[in-house]
Amino acid sequence: MMMTDPVADMLTRVRNALQAGQRRVDVPLSRMKVEIAQKLADGHFIEGVKVLDDGRRTFLRLYLKYTREGKPVIRELRRVSRPGRRAYVASSQIPQVRGGLGMAILSTSRGIMSDREARAAGLGGELIAIVH
């Protein structure tokens, strides 16, 4: 089965798992998805990331994070740039999500970066997703 937007599929799987109260979610593996998941883990939005191989396929396992009350840490996870409408921003136009409490994920010439990393490096790029 061919997918037109694998990153959007990953974000949708995470949203669905959070809504269902799952502790983990598996997504098909790609290097870009691994880097996005690592940025989510670095930003403390998910517990961790593992690359697993069950003999038939290799996949990425994300361990989701919840508050003490059982509510998901991620309140919104939204794809911004899509295959039909790409969204590019300059370093001065990178959005500050929820006054710095959230995070924007960008694809830059130096790889996948969080909004803070891209601002510090003075780089703009494709605005992949917003999470808070």
Quick: pLDDT tens for 11-21.
Answer: 999 999 999 99
- The total of structural domains in the chain comes to 1
Percent of the chain with pLDDT over 70: 98
pLDDT over threshold 70, residue 113: yes
In a domain, 49, yes or no: yes
Q: How far is the C-alpha of 28 from the C-alpha of 21, rounded, in Å?
A: 20
Is 44 part of any domain? yes
pTM listed for this prediction? 0.94
Which alpha helices (H) appear in 1-132, and where do they start and end?
6-20, 31-42, 115-121
**49 has pLDDT over 80:** yes
- Domain assignment of residue 110, given as a range: 6-131
- CATH at 127: 3.30.1490.10
Tens digits of per-residue pLDDT, 71-87? 999 999 999 999 999 99
Tell me: pLDDT of 3 over 80. Answer: no
Q: Answer yes or no: is 97 within a domain.
A: yes
User: Among 32, 34, 44, 43, which residue's Cα sits nearest to residue 81?
Assistant: 32
The model's pLDDT over 85-100, given as tens digits with 9 standing for 90+, comes to 999 999 999 999 999 8
Residue 13 lies in a domain: yes
Whether residue 56 is contained in a domain is answered as yes
